[in-house]
Structure 1
Amino acid sequence: MNVLVLALAGAVTVANIYFPQPLLEAIAQGLKVSQDTAGIIASALQIGYALGIFLIVPLADTANVRRLTTVLLVLTSGGLLVAAASPNIVTLIVATLAVSTTTVLPQVITPVAAALAGPERSGHVVGLIGLGLTLGSTFSRSLSGGVSDLSGNWRTAYVVAAVMTAALLPALRRTMPERLGAGRARLPYRKLLATLPGLLTSHREVVFSAFLGATVFAAFSAFWATLTFHLAAPPFHQGPALAGLFSLYGLPAALLSAYAGRLNDRHGPTVVNVWALGCIAASFALFAFLGASMAALIVGSNLLILGTSSSQVANQARLFVLGEDKVARLNTIFMLSSFGGGAIGSLAGAAAYSDHGWTGTVVVGVVFIVLTAGALVVERAMRVRGADSA
């Protein structure tokens, strides 16, 4: 298994969810629609990705993974070309929904790679692939904006994305396995999806990791959902361009988060969760007491990115050792929970900022930090009680 190839593939495919964001203004002008109408594309990207995680990712537990990978890459590349040639906004929105649904390969690659690596190296592998996803989502916006500016046409960025996605086919056909387990019975599709609630209730680790994923990503999203408003207000008086640069400012944290995998393999996911929570708590302390300082916001955003990425690595690694036969479905549960938490955090952050300004954002973040800490304390108490009774 070539982990670097898988990390690169994750970076390229996850970029398909984020690269259209800087193009929305150009799309609105090119297709002669309002900014609000063009903004539907951003919503379609998130909706499609969530649908793909739920409807497609579980297939990796029983389907031919190599064939599934090939089909997803072909469909995604074709959808990007349709989007590039879209004559109107309706076609582009439909193509966007289709592309984001089929470009869930990162959520297939991660559990498959962890299962192939084994319990001893799963954290390290998840960390490296997570780094690829972070870099892909970070640089995709800059790349698509640059391509659009140089070519003078937003459609060129879609063509470039289609070519880059299709170029992964030869490498992934050699790298991805045919199946995760030899001789495993293939569940019918409906039964496969019907097993998701049972997995959530049959393993305490699943509930624990899903809850931590939701609360941590909620705090993360509360910050990013309101940062633009905060930077536009006194004392900064900055436009959205500066908020966009914060993803690049967070590059050091993204690189450091890869080491969370090694830390997980050495000390276990709970240690990484505690360390990640410390980073997130420190970030919101900076936001609370030095929120009017640009330097503090940059340092705090790095701590937040580092803590959130490390927490995700630990939570996924905890799940992927529960059984090779269900890693994709476990990842589906975790990612859907994280997405749900992120949506709640964004809404709560925006509402709190509207009523109470930056203080409201900080309070929302602290609430989710407290919930995360409470879950860690409860889990620790349950482990101690279990050890005593044994």
Structure 2
Amino acid sequence: MTSVAIPAAPGLGVRRGVVVVLAVAGSITVSNIYFPQPLLEAVARGMSVSEPTAGLIATAGQVGYALGISLLVPLADGRNLRRLTTVLLALTAGALLAGALAPNLVVLTIATAAASTTTVLPQIILPAAASMAGPAGRGRVVASVGIGLTLGSTLSRTLSGAVADLSGSWRGAYALAAALTAALILVLPRHMPAADGRATIGYRELIASMPRLLRTHRELRLSAILGATTYAVFAAFWATLPFHLAHPPFDKGAGWAGLFGLLSLPAAILSYSAGKLSDAFGATRVNVLAVACLGLALALFATLGTTSLVALILGTNLLVYGTSCAQIANQARIFRLDETVRARLNTLYMLFAFSGGAAGSLAGVRLYNAGGWTWTVLGCAAFLAVAGTRLAVHSAAARH
């Protein structure tokens, strides 16, 4: 049977159909990091543990993802991507199934960390897509795949919260995630780039080369700091939102916490514009826009977010848009660097970003337990202040 080639999108250098597959696969795989967040209150109730203890699941997910990025994503520079994709999908599906069957919080936390460690395909897909794209359209291709990641991170919360409410248990969300991940084994590997004939690089050499890359590339260090701080704000908000909504004056369950993912969908879709803006005006200006949006979100959370659902929804949209813009700008910046080490550059960037996310999740839950919503917002403001200061220093240096 003959196949019909899908024409490349003008200026993108990669077939539209391939971009769609990569975006959908990125959406499904990245959702494995985020879908447990609306379930934290339900897990605390179902397993009879405290809210801060259940919050360790969110932290384990961020730590596991950072670990997987540092240890597994570099393999994309020196291994067959199709084989690597198949293995990672199988391992992730197995870990998620173990989570669905977990008898206690310890097993659930370990299973969540394991699934997060192996579900690093979004950070393999992105540099692969960037490599297939032409330089002029790299920002748009990154944004196209990035919008899939944003939709996965937001809508996964909605879906998992709804599944928990309808089934009466958080376990159904883990089972569904395992099934969707396993299904990708039939589709994604054959759409990844084939082996290009480069010599296989030893794993030890891949890992050992990364500190040098961080020292060499100033633009990478900038993206890493901005990614870590802005993502800390994002992670702290989502880790504490279920607890904030579960308490007066809201008294809402996991379904409502998940619904915020759906309610922030306009911002997720709008964030595609960050790719075009980055191509046209540069990544730094998009970073400024991102920090401004996050600042407005925190202002809404601090002033009206204690009593108003509308303010929380508006703030969530600003938060999602700002975080997505920051992510797209940061990765567009590093993907313009050395193409031969692109996966390792992305590894370093995402290691910083998700380490920031882990710190944000942990700090957010602890601050909420100590001083409620107001303390959580103040903690987020501290992270954002670091991002704003670093960006201001960079912009001032660029003008001289």
TM range (shorter): 0.7 to 0.9
Tell me, yes or no, if structure 1 residue 261 matches structure 2 residue 275. Answer: yes
Give the counterpart of 2:317 among 284, 296, 302.
302
Q: How far is the alpha carbon of 1:214 from its aligned partner?
A: 1.4
Give the counterpart of 2:383 among 359, 368, 376.
368
Task: Write the distance in 1 (CA, Å) between the matches of 2:356 and 2:75.
Answer: 24
TM-score by length of 1: 0.84
Structure-2 residue corresponding to 1:46: 62
Q: How far is the alpha carbon of 1:217 from its aligned partner?
A: 1.7
3-state SS, counterpart of residue 10 of structure 1: helix
Distance verdict in 2 for CA 1:143–1:226, change over 3 Å: closer
Letter in 2 for 1:219: V
Letter in 2 for 1:213: G
Tell me, yes or no, if structure 1 residue 281 matches structure 2 residue 321. Answer: no
Give the counterpart of 1:332 among 342, 347, 360.
347
Query: Higher mean Cα deviation, 213-222 or 190-199?
Result: 213-222
Task: Write the distance in 1 (CA, Å) between the matches of 2:103 and 2:114.
Answer: 16
Q: How does 1:61-210 map to 2 (within 5 A)?
A: 61-84=77-100, 94-147=110-163, 157-179=173-195, 182-210=196-224
Give the counterpart of 1:238 among 231, 251, 271.
251
Distance verdict in 2 for CA 1:249–1:56, change over 3 Å: same
Structure-1 residue corresponding to 2:11: none
Query: Higher mean Cα deviation, 35-44 or 369-378?
Result: 35-44
3-state SS, counterpart of residue 163 of structure 1: helix
**1:196, 1:329 within 8 Å by CA — same for their partners in 2?**
yes
Tell me, yes or no, if structure 1 residue 219 matches structure 2 residue 233. Answer: yes
Letter in 2 for 1:68: L
Q: How far is the alpha carbon of 1:330 from its aligned partner?
A: 1.4
Structure-1 residue corresponding to 2:332: 317
**1:10, 1:133 within 8 Å by CA — same for their partners in 2?**
yes
TM-score by length of 2: 0.82
Give the counterpart of 2:73 among 48, 51, 57.
57
Give the counterpart of 1:271 among 264, 270, 285.
285
Task: Write the distance in 2 (CA, Å) between the matches of 1:22 and 1:198.
Answer: 39
Q: How far is the alpha carbon of 1:238 from its aligned partner?
A: 2.7
Distance verdict in 2 for CA 1:26–1:219, change over 3 Å: closer
Q: How far is the alpha carbon of 1:206 from its aligned partner?
A: 0.7
Structure-1 residue corresponding to 2:5: none
Structure-2 residue corresponding to 1:342: 357
Structure-1 residue corresponding to 2:6: none
Q: Please list the CA deviations of residues 207-252 of structure 1 after superposition, one character each: whole Å capped at 9, or x if unmatched.
A: 1000111121223334444445555666x34345444432222111
Q: Please list the CA deviations of residues 84-103 of structure 1 after superposition, one character each: whole Å capped at 9, or x if unmatched.
A: 56677766555444332222
Q: Please list the CA deviations of residues 44-89 of structure 1 after superposition, one character each: whole Å capped at 9, or x if unmatched.
A: 4333322211111111011111111122122223444455566777
Letter in 1 for 2:261: S
**2:245, 2:252 within 8 Å by CA — same for their partners in 1?**
yes
Q: How far is the alpha carbon of 1:365 from its aligned partner?
A: 3.3
Task: Write the distance in 1 (CA, Å) between the matches of 2:44 and 2:368.
Answer: 28
Letter in 2 for 1:332: T
Q: Please list the CA deviations of residues 232-276 of structure 1 after superposition, one character each: whole Å capped at 9, or x if unmatched.
A: 666x34345444432222111111111111111121111211111
Q: Please list the CA deviations of residues 255-299 of structure 1 after superposition, one character each: whole Å capped at 9, or x if unmatched.
A: 111111111112111121111122122222333443444322221
**2:23, 2:148 within 8 Å by CA — same for their partners in 1?**
yes
Structure-2 residue corresponding to 1:13: 29
Q: Where in structure 2 are there 5+ consecutive unaligned residues? A: 1-14
Task: Write the distance in 2 (CA, Å) between the matches of 1:153 and 1:370.
Answer: 39
Q: Where in structure 1 are there 5+ consecutive unaligned residues? A: 386-390
Q: How far is the alpha carbon of 1:104 from its aligned partner?
A: 1.2
Q: How far is the alpha carbon of 1:185 from its aligned partner?
A: 3.6
3-state SS, counterpart of residue 188 of structure 2: helix
Q: Please list the CA deviations of residues 138-197 of structure 1 after superposition, one character each: whole Å capped at 9, or x if unmatched.
A: 333443455566667766554443332232234323310124xx4434321112111121
Q: How far is the alpha carbon of 1:381 from its aligned partner?
A: 2.6
**1:282, 1:303 within 8 Å by CA — same for their partners in 2?**
yes
Letter in 1 for 2:33: I
Q: Please list the CA deviations of residues 315-358 of structure 1 after superposition, one character each: whole Å capped at 9, or x if unmatched.
A: 01101111221121111111121122233334444555566655
Task: Write the distance in 1 (CA, Å) between the matches of 2:63 and 2:378.
Answer: 28
Q: How far is the alpha carbon of 1:28 from its aligned partner?
A: 8.1
RMSD (Å) for aligned C-alpha atoms:
3.2
Structure-2 residue corresponding to 1:388: none
**1:115, 1:321 within 8 Å by CA — same for their partners in 2?**
no
3-state SS, counterpart of residue 136 of structure 2: coil
Structure-1 residue corresponding to 2:19: 3
Distance verdict in 2 for CA 1:303–1:69, change over 3 Å: same
Task: Write the distance in 1 (CA, Å) between the matches of 2:102 and 2:270.
Answer: 40
Task: Write the distance in 1 (CA, Å) between the matches of 2:395 and 2:282.
Answer: 13
Letter in 1 for 2:122: P
